[in-house]
Copies of this chain bind each other. A is one copy, B any other.
Amino acid sequence: MTEATSSDARVSITYCTQCRWLMRAAWVAQELLQTFRTRLGEVALVPGTDGVFRVELVRTPGEEPVLLWDRKSQGGFPEIPPLKRAIRDAVAPDLPLGHTDRAGSA
């Protein structure tokens, strides 16, 4: 009975509540969890303000977070396939991502 996840990797999605980006953030969270399942320890939805939309990965507790997306510097919102590829490369390098792996997919 191992209920807990086997991974310590944590993705956090910080979103602006004023901008009503909760559903968008929850969609991204579900995309990631659907793909990585227990290869991720958790995906946290972090309410923020002032136009923030930021995705960060901490592979092991205590490690510096890796910034995967920041609306402030990159503008707009992340595409799911490159986000999945970046997380796959960091936490589950052997996991095939199907069509998300095809060259040239967004």
By a beta-carbon cutoff of 8 Å, the part of chain A in contact with chain B is: 1-5, 10, 12, 14, 16-17, 22-23, 26, 29-30, 33-34, 36-38, 40-50, 52, 54
A30 and B41: CB pair below 8 A? no
Task: Output the nearest chain B residue to A46 by Cβ-Cβ distance.
Answer: B42
- The residues of B that contact A23 with a CB separation of less than 8 Å are 30
Residues of B within 8 A of A10 (CB): 44
Q: Are B12 and A42 in contact (CB under 8 A)?
A: yes
Known interface pairs A14-B3, A42-B12, A44-B44; A34-B49 also in contact (CB < 8 Å): no
A49 to B40, CA, bound (A): 13
Smallest CB gap from A36: residue in B: B47
